[in-house]
Amino acid sequence: MKCPSCHEKNNKVLDTNVIGYGQMIKRRRECRSCQHRWTTLESEAATAEEVVKQAHKIIRAYDSFKKVMNDYD
């Protein structure tokens, strides 16, 4: 996860809470470089291993999630 302030990847989780009847996780994070703090809300996405066969082609379900996951790197 990149810091929204300085875009460094080096951060730590300060606090974690389960909210929404276990459907979401709220995390308080802090950048180790600039000490900026922010909150993330995380929910479970569709599994990356789902495979759909259509017209003799294999389409992986995770293709639509690649952009979202790249933001966390």
Please list the residues that pair with 57 across neighbouring strands: 54
Q: Which amino acid, 28? A: R
3-state secondary structure at position 22: coil
Instruction: Note if the pTM is more than 0.85.
Output: no
pLDDT tens, position by position, 2-12: 899 999 999 99
Contact call for residues 50 and 61 (beta carbons, < 8 A): yes
pLDDT tens, position by position, 22-71: 788 999 999 999 999 999 988 876 555 555 555 544 445 445 555 555 55
Please list the residues that pair with 53 across neighbouring strands: 58
Place of tokens 């459907």: 23
